[in-house]
Structure 1
Amino acid sequence: MDLHQTLVLIHRKLKEKSQDTNLSWSQKHVLRYLYRHSVSTISELAALEGVRTQSMGATVQSLKDAGYVVGQPDPKDGRRTLLSLTDDFLKKVEATLLIKEEWLQERITERLTEEEIQALQQALPALNKLAADA
């Protein structure tokens, strides 16, 4: 099995631990972006996705309706709305991340030898380079 296949399988297993299967790719992308960056605007999100502001507005509205996203007026520019994750959704995300981390840690400790665990740790810098945006 090659690296790509292995990473795909691990990703699938971790995805099984998520509870966001009914969300579209665009909705997931918005939620991930807001989780990483705390706040954004519809215009910024639309530019990131390469879609019209109106299309992103519909995506954001569906996330607001689901209770995942909230908008507040920008204190610097009242014409803009700053979007962020709701506290309830943030708790759900953090709980899901914890479940995924625990699953992965259990798999590592239950299935790998000490030498294999050390090999994984030694491979982390190279894998981080592959995953880096720059």
Structure 2
Amino acid sequence: MDERANRPRIERTYALAAELRAILGKLKRKLREHGGRSDLTPSQVSVILRLEIDGPVTVSSLARAEGMRPQSMSAIVTSLLDVGLVSGSPDPNDARQTLMSLSRKCQKFLKEGRAARQDWLTTTIQEKLSVQEQEKLAAVLQLLARLVED
């Protein structure tokens, strides 16, 4: 098939991709709105999520994982320590090192935020979509899952 014949299909696919990105962006903002207020910077959020996934690590390891200088990471970690979202403990393998981990306060903050977002989304789906539309949404989710499969 030549490029001219395929052009409408390519344009439609491009438009679908743009619309999907816009809608997912709006959904992400709505979820953030309903997940509780946070004054955290994107860098602080990234560190918290990395600690949640990787578990306790040193500031140097965090810096490497986030692709930044240890001094910059140290400033981020210090700000999180100051508000009680992370804590440090001696590394059992090297007492000269400190392992940073999420505090109980942070774990509670994450859990409550996720629960609030889940509650909002569940309620919104129930209130705005009929049973048939919810079934269509389930089918769309299967398609979206295929888009992100490796």
Question: Same-fold call, TM > 0.5?
Answer: yes
* Structure 2, unaligned runs of 5 or more: 1-17
* Structure 1, unaligned runs of 5 or more: none
Structure 1 position 18 matched with structure 2 position 35:
yes
- The two structures, once aligned, show a CA RMSD in angstroms of 1.8
Percent identical among aligned pairs is 37
TM-score if structure 2 supplies the norm length? 0.79
Residue matched to 2:124? 107
Residue matched to 1:5? 22
Question: How far apart are 1:129 and its partner, in Å?
Answer: 4.3
Question: How far apart are 1:27 and its partner, in Å?
Answer: 0.6
- Show CA shifts across 1:86-128 (max 9, x none): 1022112101110000000001111011122112222323323
TM-score if structure 1 supplies the norm length? 0.88
Q: Are the structure 2 counterparts of residues 57 and 68 from structure 1 closer, same or farther at C-alpha, using a change threshold of 3 Å?
A: same
Question: How far apart are 1:10 and its partner, in Å?
Answer: 0.5
Q: Distance in 2 between matches of 1:40 and 1:50?
A: 15
Q: Specify which of 47, 51, 69 is matched with residue 52 of structure 1.
A: 69
- Show CA shifts across 1:10-62 (max 9, x none): 10101112345421111110011112233222112111221101110110011
